[in-house]
Amino acid sequence: MQLPTDFKRLRRLRRTAAIRSLVRETELNVRDLIYPLFVAHGTGVKEEIGSMPGVYHLSVDMLRREIQEISQTGIEAVLLFGVPAHKDDLSSEAYAQEGIVQQGIRAIKEENPDLTVITDVCLCAYNPHGHCGIVRGGQILNDPTLELLAKTAISHAQAGADIIAPSDMMDGRIAAIRAGLDQEGFVDIPIMSYSVKYASSFYGPFREAAHSAPAFGDRKTYQMDPANTREALREAAADVEEGADFLMVKPAMVYMDIIRQLRDRFDLPLVSYNVSGEYSMIKAAAQNGWIEERQVVLELLTGLKRAGSDLIITYHAKDVAKWLREGCLDAQRI
């Protein structure tokens, strides 16, 4: 048989590690990573979250130590969540001056003023029913919730937050938070909107971490149906119009098509959130020796960048920072 010779020799560019490095299109950088932290009441608390090995509830004193450590890694931004002492129907600890997040923000800024502090704005961890808005008669009310979200955002900005990240999925929240921040003089504080947040089962471990599982029903009347794409584009467009400064897709792994579509259609910085369930699956498989954790994580995050993420929120951030320092510059070379 006469073998064909007129085919493309794509392997030429893969022959050596150095050539592969020259033609590599996507590079992971520690500056792209945002590390989530959970701050809790008490002192000396460093309590591992059962389903998220390596992730902790930290009291403010322990948070300070953690910030010292993070500041050595090259990570430039953290996303702060609170575990409140007190839950009530008005979610009052969410916007209390001495609330746990507000204390956490001030402590982080004292330890390292250069670290960018992004704060999650939501009510679900702060009320007994665990929903992201005010509940009356079994309904999650949209408009009355907006004022509390704006109040929460303002209190975070007053405590020194650099970026406000609302995750509640109420309609009109970006406009309400923008108006609230502006009225209080925080015109320069950007909003990182959880624009496209799906009603996902991948949040399970986080809800254990934040004690924020809904006590009744689910989040499907405000978070998005995983089956929908066009609706994601409408959500993002609405947020742009209302004044969002960043867009986000959450979860990340099974929504890479959505990340790509947002990247192609909008010019705002795009964030993907590699959520708790995605983290736990990798950790569990790695602990069983079924996958190579480092290679799998670097491949995953490279995939999220390739799909169009500018920034990635990930519980793997500290590990990745370490691997990148050790010179594992890409998933292929290690």
> What letter would DSSP give residue 246?
B
Which residue's CB is nearer to ligand PBG, number 93 or number 120? 120
Least distance between ligand PBG and beta carbon 203 (Å): 4
Per-position x/- string for 204-233, each x denoting binding to ligand PBG as judged by CB under 6 A, each - no binding: --xx--------------------------
Residue of 169, 310, 143, 142 whose CA lies nearest to 239: 169
Contacts 24+ apart (CB under 8 A), 85-93: 85/41, 87/125, 87/126, 87/127, 87/128, 88/126, 88/127, 88/128, 89/127, 89/128, 89/129, 89/134, 89/135, 90/127, 90/134, 90/148, 91/123, 91/126, 91/127, 91/134, 91/148, 91/152, 92/126, 93/126
Smallest distance, Å, CB 169 to ligand PBG? Answer: 8
For residue 299, the minimal CB distance to ligand PBG (Å) is: 20
By beta-carbon proximity to ligand PBG, the closer residue of 252 and 298 is: 252
The reply on whether position 35 binds ligand PBG by CB under 6 A is: no
Nearer to ligand PBG, 102 or 200 (CB): 200
At 255, the amino acid letter reads: Y
Q: Which is nearer to ligand PBG, 35 or 323 (CB)?
A: 35
Residues 178-207 that bind ligand PBG (CB under 6 A): 203, 206-207
> Please, which of residues 271-310 interact with ligand PBG by CB under 6 A?
275-276
Nearer to ligand PBG, 83 or 275 (CB): 275
Kindly state the smallest distance separating residue 252's Cβ from ligand PBG, in Å.
10
Q: What share of the chain is helix, strand, coil (3-state, %, to 5)?
A: 40, 20, 40
The residue whose two tokens read 């979200």 is 149
Across the chain, where does the E strand assignment appear?
A: 33-40, 46-49, 52-59, 77-83, 116-121, 134-136, 139-141, 163-166, 196-197, 247-250, 270-274, 311-314
Position 135 contacts ligand PBG (CB under 6 A): no
Nearest residue to ligand PBG, scored by beta-carbon proximity: 206
| Residue 79 identity (one-letter amino acid) | L
Cβ-contact 53, 327 below 8 angstroms: no
Residues 88-127 that bind ligand PBG (CB under 6 A): 120, 122, 124
Distance of CA 50 to the CA centre of its chain: 20
Closest CA to 272 of 214, 334, 202: 202
Look at the block and give the residue holding tokens 């990798």: 282
Residue count at the site for ligand PBG (CB under 6 A)? 10
Query: Is 167 a binder of ligand PBG (CB under 6 A)?
Result: yes
Q: Smallest gap, in angstroms, from Cβ of residue 43 to ligand PBG?
A: 26
What does the alpha-carbon distance between residue 134 and residue 173 come to, in Å, rounded to a whole number?
A: 13
Name the minimum Å distance from CB 314 to ligand PBG. 9
* CB closer to ligand PBG out of 256 and 334: 256
Residues 258-277 contacting ligand PBG, CB under 6 A: 275-276
User: In what helix (H) or strand (E) does residue 186 lie, and over which residues does it extend?
Assistant: none
**In the stretch 46-85, what mask flags binding to ligand PBG with x, by CB under 6 A?**
----------------------------------------
Residues with a catalytic annotation lie at 197, 250
> Nearest distance from residue 20's CB to ligand PBG, in Å?
33
Q: Taking a C-beta distance cutoff of 8 angstroms, is the pair 245, 194 a contact?
A: no
In the complex with ligand PBG, the residue whose CB is nearer, 168 or 242, is: 168
Site for ligand PBG, rule CB under 6 A: 120, 122, 124, 132, 167, 203, 206-207, 275-276
